Amino acid sequence: MHELSPTRVILKPLPLMRHFIWLALTCVLTIHAQSLPENKPVYGPVKSMSPADFEREMAKSKHYDFELASPDGLVDAQGTHIQAADLMAYLHEKQIDASAYFLISITNQSPPLNSVAVTVGPLGRYGLTKIVFRNKPGGIPSQVVAEYHPAPGTPPDKKPVRVISIRPNPKSVTAGLPFPDLSGRPVSLRPDPLPPRVRYAFAADEVVIAAARLAADHLLSGHPSNTPLFASNLSIQPGAWSQLKTHEDLGKKATSSWTSMVPGLKDRFEGVILGDPGELSNLEAILVRTIEESGGGEIRAASTAEMARWWPFVSSDYTEPMLILATKDGAHTFALFFELGRVVLLDDLNALPSIR
């Protein structure tokens, strides 16, 4: 995978697709076409298939195979490059079955996934419901399935389901493996021992310290700097959104909503992507007020119990900077994921159900 620094996988819409409400799959995610560890499943928020399960599913299910082309579009099994602008006509001409799996392989020549909105958009408009991104070489990755709300005006029977492959971070460590030297960061920013199954990728000490300072500056100091806290598109995960969605000044502009399911639970969980600068500013003010009303808070690394609790709900490895902001009264345990110096994901672990 093309790796961000630090690597983090999170879904978000690009401006082009903002009103499509995730009908097209767009990601802050870039990929190298490297082989996937065949026996290391990805633990996603919705569903995981082992390579063997996926092969069995494909053996009994209708599917089409394509490669993601550069700069846009797809290459079919005959080697024909279909540009994004011609995809809709191609799908109709070939009478592609919209209920079949649509497999898109990533190659070394494929563009980064943060640019695929123009390619995936026509697929969603055509009505494809099972789109699978996978790395071409090596084993088939585990799959993560999520249901997304359709665009306004979409017929009720057109509720797309997207199937997304997410590759474990090769730099991650697991329980029992030694941590790198963390002596350059405060003890409070050193994570506890990892619980089983959890994968954790460390960032440089100075990157983690800078993230903690930025969060404290905006959420605890009362005198925030001009450096933005949030990325231009912020993913609010189900725990946090369950507490925040009652606020009238959130989720009304430039917002994409989504639902997901978690293995072992029957409930569906709702989250959003906020992209309006005004609403992001409102969110910061709400968080500051919430933390003040809870007696203040502290910023630290995650505990073993917190990592275990959140793991079923996240779609990728824990990748630093990943910080916890816990309020003094214990009411909130906010989880913050950073990418390129900004918070890209927010959750509240206390509002999530327990999974045993």
Can you spell out the DSSP letters for 240-275? Answer: HHHHHTT-TTSSSSSEEEEEEE-TT---EEEEEEE-
Mean pLDDT of the chain: 75
pLDDT of residue 156: 55
154-163, 167-176, 228-237, 252-261 — most confident range = 228-237
Residue range 146-167, pLDDT digits in tens: 444 454 555 555 444 444 444 5
For residues 124 and 88, give the distance between their C-alpha atoms in angstroms, rounded to a whole number: 10
For residue 235, what are the CA distances in angstroms to 10, 147, 346?
8, 16, 6
The C-alpha atoms of residue 134 and residue 107 are separated, in whole angstroms, by 9
Least confident of 56-60, 94-98, 141-145, 277-281: 141-145
Phi, psi angle pair for 170, to nearest 5°: -65, -15
What are 110's two structure tokens?
Answer: 């494929």
Q: What is the pLDDT of residues 269-316, one digit of tens each?
A: 788 888 889 999 999 999 999 999 999 999 999 999 999 988 888 766
Better-scored residue on pLDDT, 339 or 115: 339
Average the pLDDT over 193-210 and give the result: 94
Tokens of 83: 């540009």
Of 61-65, 214-218, 318-322, the range with the lowest mean pLDDT is 61-65
The pTM of the whole model exceeds 0.75: no
Element (H, E) at 174: strand 173-174
CA distance 21 to 151: 6
